Amino acid sequence: ELGAEITGYSSAFGSAALAETWGAGSAFDGSPNSAWSSAGDGDEAWIEVRLAQRSQIDRIEFWTRFMSDGTAQIFEFTITTGDGRVYGPYELPDAEQAYGFDVNFEAEVLRFDVVDSSGGNTGAVEIAVYGAPLSEE
């Protein structure tokens, strides 16, 4: 994992701060027992992170949250890098686990945008970014 700082997000349920229950930090805390929940953003939900430095990204993992009434589940998302390149959409078959995607791009900033969902308080149980920092010249 490359170390990341959350630089923005669409919303958080109950206006939760990053480290609070439902806060955006829950998507990157390594725990399947917490989740970031947007405040009803549905397909408009997004979260953006800045890595410690520009890196070669080779794998992304994403675990969508869901609610027992069938809402809040993300079916597809895209990734937009700081230079405006868009990757995906990546499909999430269900909300039972994290799904991994082999990728190949360089980035320092990554924005995850929901493309298709069941609506409601969409968000993520976990998001992970893997790769190697690029050497500074």
Amino acid 102: pLDDT = 98
Q: Which two tokens stand for residue 12?
A: 């958080």
Alpha-carbon span 90 to 135, nearest angstrom: 28
Q: pLDDT truncated to tens, each residue of the chain (137 aa)?
A: 456 899 999 999 999 999 998 999 999 999 999 999 999 999 999 999 999 999 999 999 999 999 999 999 999 999 999 999 999 999 999 999 999 999 999 999 999 999 999 999 999 999 999 999 998 65
Largest pairwise CA distance in the chain: 52
Amino acid 3: pLDDT = 64
Amino acid 73: pLDDT = 98
Amino acid 4: pLDDT = 81
Amino acid 64: pLDDT = 98
Alpha-carbon span 24 to 18, nearest angstrom: 5
In the chain, where the domains are located: 4-133
What long-range pairs does 13-22 form, CB within 8 A, spacing at least 24? Answer: 13/37, 13/38, 13/39, 13/121, 13/123, 14/39, 15/39, 22/123
CATH code of 4-133, in short, is 2.60.120.260
